[in-house]
Amino acid sequence: MKNYARVFKGNAFTSKSPTELHILKDYLFCINENGMIAKVVAPVDQDYQTILETNQDKLQCLREGQYFLPGFVDLHVHAPQWAQSGTALDIPLYDWLNTYTFPLEAKFSDLNFARKVYQDVVSTLLANGTTTALYFATVHKDASLLLAQICVEKGQRGLVGKVVMDNLDQTSEFYRDHDTQTALKETEDFILEVNELAKTTKQGVYPVVTPRFIPSCTDEALKGLGELAAKYDTYVQSHCSESDWEHEYVLSRFKKNDTFALRDFGLLRDKSVMAHCNFLNDDDAELFAETGTAVSHCPISNAYFANSVIPVAHLHSKGVDIGLGSDISGGFSPSLYDNARQAVISSRMLEDGVNSRLPAVERGVPHSRITINEAFYFATAGGGESLSLPIGRLAENFAWDVQIIDTTTATAKLPIFDNQEDLEDVFQKIMYLVRPENICEVWVQGEKVHSR
C-alpha cells in the first residue's frame, strides 16, 4: 500500500471533454508529498475500503452539500489594475489606456504601493477559486518580481510578466521602458530571477515574456523578446486583435494581422497565450492551432473594449486551445465564475444576434453558442492545456488544485431543496450561482491556501 500525504473523500466535478462533465460520486483522491493526485478511487474499486481504513489520520471528508471542483486557471490578469477595477469602463480602449491605466501602472515604481495592491489581488483571486494566474505586472522589474514573490508566499501558482513598452509613438514619457536595450536586458534579468525563485517553490512560479501589445513595442523589442522566449523556453503573453482600433493599427503598420506579425517575431509558441483575439480569421486560427498558441477568452472585458463578440466556439472547432481570462480591470470581476457566465451569455447573443430590427435569419451567427460545461472546461482543463501544465482536472497525475464548494453556506445558500437532486443540475447551479462565500477552502499543489 502506497504512503499518501493526504486522502480526500467526496463528490467532485471535472471535465471529461469540452462538452461533457465527469461526476465523481463519493470518490477518494489520494495526494502524494509533491501535491499531485497519485490515485483516484471509485467506491466500486477493490481497494476503496482498505485505503479509507489505512488513511484515517490523513483523511478529509466533505460534508453533505459540499463538492470538489478543480481550481480555476485565469489566463489573463493585470495585477496592478486591481486598484481600478470597476471604474472607467465607459470609454474606448485607447482612451482608457492613456487616461486611466497607464497613469495607474506608473505608480508601481513605488514598491510599497505595489505590495499593497499585489497582496490584495492574489488573496482575492484565491478566495474566488483561482489557483493559477497568468499575470501582467508593469514595466517595473522590481515590482514585477515582488508580484512573483507574493504568489509564492500566498501559495498561488503564478506566471508573471514584466511588461515591455518601448515604442515612443504609442507610449508616454511617464510610463515606458527607458529604451529598447534596457527593456530586453531587464526582461532577461527578470527571467533569471524568477527561475531562481522557482527552484524553491512547490507549486511553481514562471517568468513570462510580455510585450504589452504590438502598438506599445518597437520591431526591435518584439524581435528581441521572441529571441529571449526561445533562449529560455519561456511563456509568452500579449494582447492580440482586441479592438477595431488595435486591429487596424497593426494592419496599417505591418500589412498583416497581429497573429502573423507575432509569428514573424518568434512570439507564437506552444507556451504562448494571446488575450482577446476577437478579430481572428480562419488563417489566423490555423496559425494558432499549428503553433500551439492559446487564446485567453476575456468575455467581460470584451463587452467593454473589443467592439465585438469573439467566435469562440468556431475557434475551438478549428483546434485552437482556449482558456478564460478575467482581464482585470478591462473586466471588472476577479471571479472566473462571473466570466464563465458571461462567456455563455455573450455566445448566445452572438448566435441569436442582437439587432431586433433585423429578421431572425439575418440576425446572428449560427453555431456560436457554448454551454456552461464548455465555459467550465475553458476555466479549468482548457486553461491547463493552454499552459501545458498538469492542472485543471481532478485526475491522476494532475496537481491537487481544488476549490471546495459549500452549497449550504448560511449567507449564500444555493437553491437546492432535494438532497437527491441530480448532480448535473447541482453542478449547473454551482456554476451560475456560487459566490466567494461558498468557496470554503482552496488548495494548490496539495497545500491549503485559503479557507473561510
Q: Does a cis peptide bond (omega within 30 degrees of 0) precede residue 326?
A: no
Cβ neighbours around 152 below 10 Å, total: 21
* Torsions phi, psi for 157 (to 5 deg): -80, 110
The C-alpha cell that represents 94 in the structure block = 485607447
Q: Which helix (H) or strand (E) holds 327?
A: none
User: From residue 183 to residue 212, what is the string marking binding to ligand GUN with x (rule CB under 6 A)?
Assistant: -----------------------------x
Per rule CB under 6 A, is residue 10 in the interface with ligand GUN?
no
* Spatial distance between the Cα atoms of 136 and 275, rounded to a whole number of angstroms: 11
Of the pair 150, 328, the CB lying nearest ligand GUN is at 328
Per rule CB under 6 A, is residue 310 in the interface with ligand GUN?
no
Stretch that binds ligand GUN, among 34-42, 93-101, 194-202, 348-356 (CB under 6 A): 93-101
Nearest CA-CA partner of 310 in 361, 349, 358: 349
Residues 6+ apart with CB under 8 A from 175: 102, 103, 105, 106, 139, 165
Per rule CB under 6 A, is residue 162 in the interface with ligand GUN?
no
Least Å distance between CB 306 and Fe ion?
Answer: 10
Least Å distance between CB 298 and Fe ion?
Answer: 7
Contacts to Fe ion by CB under 5 A = 275, 327
- Among the listed residues 37, 83, 97, 340, the single contact to ligand GUN using CB under 6 A: 97
Least Å distance between CB 242 and ligand GUN?
Answer: 5
Sequence-ordered strand ranges (E) for 140-270: 157-161, 163-164, 205-211, 235-240
Least Å distance between CB 80 and ligand GUN?
Answer: 9
**Interface positions, 315-344, toward ligand GUN (CB under 6 A):** 327, 330
Q: Cβ-closest residue to ligand GUN?
A: 330
Are the beta carbons of 125 and 160 closer than 8 angstroms? no
- Among the listed residues 9, 239, 297, 450, the single contact to ligand GUN using CB under 6 A: 239
* Torsions phi, psi for 308 (to 5 deg): -175, 165
Least Å distance between CB 171 and Fe ion?
Answer: 16
Of the pair 78, 271, the CB lying nearest ligand GUN is at 78
- Among the listed residues 11, 14, 15, 101, the single contact to ligand GUN using CB under 6 A: 101
* Spatial distance between the Cα atoms of 88 and 95, rounded to a whole number of angstroms: 10
212 binds, among Fe ion, ligand GUN, none (CB under 5 to 8 A by kind): ligand GUN
Of the pair 212, 393, the CB lying nearest ligand GUN is at 212
- Among the listed residues 6, 9, 78, 162, the single contact to ligand GUN using CB under 6 A: 78
* Spatial distance between the Cα atoms of 12 and 405, rounded to a whole number of angstroms: 10
- Tracing cell 527607458 back to the chain, one arrives at 178
Sequence-ordered strand ranges (E) for 48-196: 59-61, 66-70, 72-78, 130-136, 157-161, 163-164
Residues that bind ligand GUN (CB under 6 A): 78, 93, 97, 101, 212-213, 239, 242, 301, 305, 327, 330
